Amino acid sequence: MKGLVEGAKLDAGGTITITEGIAGQGKSEITAGMDVRLGYINQSMVEAGGNLFVEKSILHSEVIAKGDIYCQQGHIIGGVLSAGRAIEAKDAGNRMSTITELYLGVNKKVKAREETLQDEHTILEDNIKKLRLIGNHLDNKKHKTGELTPKERVTMLRQKNSLHNYELRRQVLLEELSELKSDIGELKDTRLSINGTLYSNVEIGFGMYHRKIFRPITNVYATLTKGEIVIRSLG
């Protein structure tokens, strides 16, 4: 496809090529089963089942590639990028220390959903525990006295209804969590290459391991070695 894509959604099972680029104020989305080739990405969502090739820049966008992300002649500023194997760019971040997130071997979008579900599951478990304690207390009183007060009977009905709803929701959460898979690559094959400058306030993630950059580093090659993100400046 020649030209520019603005505010549109494209979905293809194969490769998508846009010679100029995509700009969308957060409204443009591209999803491809294979590679995606673009001039630039600006405030858009792009997901490639293969590799992503960007000629110029990736700005304030959410980008996922199961293979590699190549922006070797341009810069990455802002947004969140996830790649299964490698991210290569000229620069990452900028002199203004714009928050920029680069993740290897993990789908950050799915990971964020996992974390949200896990948080909700923790709250549900706590509520279920409290409701069961209330139910046990009322059951014990009924067994000892043979009856409950009208207020206690209403409380028991509410307790049983809430417990039922919470347990149903917990089951839905567990099923969704079992279906989610945030990993999109093998960590032993992942790498980050920045042939220009890796600026401060860029966060790098290799699976569960994270590292934040506090000062600019030039000509960077980063890998995960024995559970540690190792960053080498090649001069």
The gap from C-alpha 95 to its chain's centroid, in whole angstroms, comes to: 25
Q: At residue 105, what are phi and psi to the nearest 5 degrees? A: 75, 0
Whether the CB-CB separation of 90 and 132 falls below 8 Å is answered with no
- Alpha-carbon distance 233 to 105, whole Å? 22
Q: Give me the number of domains the chain comprises.
A: 2
0.85 exceeded by pTM: no
**Listed residue (212, 211, 197, 194) closest to 87, CA to CA:** 194
pLDDT band of 95, cuts 50, 70, 90: very high
Q: How many CB atoms sit inside 10 A of residue 129's CB?
A: 9
Same domain assignment for residues 192 and 104: yes
pLDDT band of 183, cuts 50, 70, 90: confident
Both tokens of 20, joined, read 């100029």
**Listed residue (173, 175, 218, 165) closest to 195, CA to CA:** 218
The pLDDT value recorded for residue 91 is 97
Same domain assignment for residues 126 and 72: no
| Model confidence at 160: pLDDT above 80 | yes
Alpha helices in 59-213 (DSSP H): 108-145, 150-179
Final residue before a domain boundary, out of 157, 179, 201: 179
Same domain assignment for residues 174 and 146: yes
The pLDDT value recorded for residue 2 is 57
Same domain assignment for residues 21 and 42: yes
Same domain assignment for residues 167 and 137: yes
- Alpha-carbon distance 45 to 108, whole Å? 13
Same domain assignment for residues 97 and 169: no
The boundaries of the domain holding residue 172 are: 111-179
Same domain assignment for residues 8 and 75: yes
Cα 230 to Cα 70, 72, 90, 197, distances in angstroms: 21, 21, 19, 16
Same domain assignment for residues 29 and 119: no
Torsion of CA 42, 46, 50, 54, to 10 degrees: -10
Same domain assignment for residues 103 and 123: no
Same domain assignment for residues 88 and 204: yes
